[in-house]
Amino acid sequence: MLSGQATRVARATVRNCFSSPVQATRSYAVASSAAFSAVPSNHAHKVVVIGGGAAGLSVSHQLLRSGQFSQGDIAVIDPSTWHHYQPGWTLVGGGLKDKNDLRKPLAKLIDPKLKFHNDAVATFNPGDNSVTLRSGDKVMYEQLIVAPGIHVKYDSIKGLPEALADEAGLVSTIYGYDTCDKLARSVNQLKRGTAIFTQPSGIVKCAGAPQKAMWLAYDKWARAGLLRRGDRDASPIKISFATGLPVMFGVPKYSAKLEDLRRQRGVEGLFQHDLVEINGNEAVFAAPGGEKVTRHFDLLHAVPKMGPHQFVAQSPLANEVGLVDVDDATMQHKKYPNVWSLGDASSLPTSKTAAAITSQAPILVSNIMQMIDAKGKPLASYDGYTSCPITTSYGKVLLAEFVYGGKPKETFGKWIGIDQATPRRPFYYLKKDFFPWVYYKFMMKGQWAGPNGFNTRI
């Protein structure tokens, strides 16, 4: 929780909101334009962080703020030019944000005391505590943190890359910088027909995001008179939600609320339907029992499958599904004690969100410092905390917060005794305005710990 004056201010703000009637792609696979060294060389650092995304920058700056490291002791490795606030892409798809406002040059976000290797990883060599870069350079480490995120596999759906490239077509996805604004244009264009929103089975960044896109589109069409709330047959536009999951959401409490919302609004649920192909205006799904189901659409929001980067999946650090194999509580590698992982690339069995990283990073930093100091104390434990603010309309958000096992752990429920499964206006402004602001202003500088507030102890 927050402490001191920060607590009093935050609580007062939340209470005022509730009494009022109002309320990053950082792709590791994208190389920088910077020239690489022609002659391979060796570098040595106390801590090497793979990835300059939400996880990598949070943990590297928190380590730096500990005061225990000198210039160049900590290195960040990432080939990207831009760092993106990826949770904001849903807002872009809903017409609420400009995507250009949600990205910054990666190099400018990295503290000058950190060494930035603007290069890609070729191989991990945990046997000799080194990483080989694509340029051929070798980077030695005492402690290694692996946080390069995961890869969006556009070609996992046959025909999707071509459909996204068609500017006149109404196929979009919020899971990429180049395409997230296409959804808003498509929603504005559609006046009649069938709109299908999909969600894949398996690994996915922010499992609530596919629904966020759908509910914002629903609300826009309803306000324009193109949907009859709860009367699907009388609506000019008909919405279907096709998900590879058997339920609306992975946490029972929030799934029940979203299922009620789906029924009340007349949205068709196609459960255990995994999108595998787009052929013109037809979507092909893999359904239960091996059946292939083909559905016509006039608008399609498609979410590709996702998975680990190959340089992680094919390394000695990976588990059987290609994620970095770490302990669920300590985030320490199960085989190599000086290797750690957090965020989307890790095997931590919780939803892959920026909110999860706010809880993971301080614990991982504490544990690394314990290892470096060799005090022999027990390592701190992560309880699986994550959060997913689901926009259910323009002006309201269901704020899901939970830990391992799908157990709710609601910040505002503890503070002021409310049920966060009920969509509320103050949560909307947290999602739309507060979170993007705090992300770049504090989280990327190692000064924000999510529900625990401003990180003043580091």
**C-alpha separations of 187 from 91, 160, 199, 302 in Å:** 13, 18, 18, 14
**C-alpha separations of 111 from 48, 51, 58, 327 in Å:** 14, 14, 11, 29
The three-state secondary structure class of 152 is strand
206 is an active site residue = yes
Burial class of residue 376 in the structure, from the number of CB atoms within 10 Å of its CB (0-12 exposed, 13-18 middle, 19+ buried): exposed
388 is an active site residue = yes
Residue pair 275/283 in contact (Cβ under 8 Å)? The answer is yes
Q: What amino acid is encoded at 97 in this protein?
A: K
DSSP, residue by residue, 352-370: B-HHHHHHHHHHHHHHHHH
Which residue intervals of 285-379 are DSSP H helices? 310-313, 354-373
Q: Tell me the C-alpha distance between 3 and 195, whole Å.
A: 46
Q: How many CB atoms lie within 10 A of CB 291?
A: 9
Q: Tell me the C-alpha distance between 446 and 57, whole Å.
A: 7
Residue pair 143/338 in contact (Cβ under 8 Å)? The answer is yes
Q: Tell me the C-alpha distance between 292 and 285, whole Å.
A: 6
Q: Nearest 5 degrees, angle CA 292-CA 297-CA 303?
A: 70
Which residue among the candidates 54, 206, 258, 348 is catalytic per the annotation? Answer: 206
Residue pair 254/423 in contact (Cβ under 8 Å)? The answer is no
Cβ-proximal residues to 174 (8 Å cutoff; 6+ apart), any chain = 89, 90, 92, 93, 180, 183, 209, 213, 301
Which residue among the candidates 102, 267, 283, 388 is catalytic per the annotation? Answer: 388
Catalytic positions, please?
A: 206, 388
